[in-house]
Amino acid sequence: MAADKVIYAMYDDDDVLKNGAKKLVSKGVKINEVFSPFPIHGIDPIIGVKNTRLGIMAFIYGLIGLTLATVGMRYFMIEDWPMNIGGKPNGTYLENMLAFIPITFEFTVLCAAHGMAITYLIVNKTLPGMPAQNPDPRTTDDKFVMELRMSENDGFSSSELETMLKDTGVIELDQKEI
C-alpha cells in the first residue's frame, strides 16, 4: 500500500469531539477512527461504525451448548448406562428431562458466555501480548483522539482538514505517515 498520511486530532472532552465529528461528517469528511478512554455514547452512527453482531453469536453459542448438553445427557443416562433408581428405570429422555434441566441450563450459559468472550477477544485482536495501537498514551486517560486518513479524504487537502478541525475545539493536532 502506498504511504498514507494520518491526522490525529486530540480533544479533551467527549461531547466536544462528538459535536466536532458531526460537523466534519456533515461537510463530507470521513473519520476513520476514534480512540477514547471510555465508550462515547452516540459516536458510532456519526462515524459510521455498525452495531456489533456479537449478541447474535452469543445466542448461537448458547444453542450449541443446549444441543450438546441434551445429546450428551441422553446418551450417558438413557442409552449408554440407564440407571435404575429405586426400581424406577430411566425410560425415555422426556420422562427424565426434569433432572437434566439444571445442567442443561448451566452448560448453555457456559458455552454462550465463553464462546462470546473468546469471539470478542479475537475479532478485537485483543489477545495477550498484542501491542497497543492507540496513537497517544493519554487516550486511555482523559484525552479523545480522532483519526482522519488522507487516502479516505481525497476531496480535501491536509491544510483544509486542519483548518476544519481547529474550528471544532481541538486541543492538539498531529500528523503521521504510515
* Minimal distance, residue 155 CB to another protein, in Å: 23
- For the four alpha carbons of 52, 54, 55 and 60, in that order, the dihedral sign comes to positive
Nearer to another protein, 57 or 150 (CB): 57
| CB 52, min distance to another protein, A | 5
Closest approach of another protein to the CB of residue 76, in Å? 4
Q: Which is nearer to another protein, 120 or 151 (CB)?
A: 120
Least CB distance to another protein at residue 99 (A): 4
Contacts of 19 (CB under 8 A, 6+ apart): 168, 169
**2 vs 159 by CB, closer to another protein:** 159
* DSSP symbols for 118-169: HHHHHHHT--TTPPP--SSGGGGTT-EEEEEEGGG-TTS-HHHHHHHHHTTT
DSSP E strands: which ranges in the chain? 5-11, 33-35, 84-85, 88-89, 144-149, 172-177
Query: Would you say 2 or 44 has its CB closer to another protein?
Result: 44
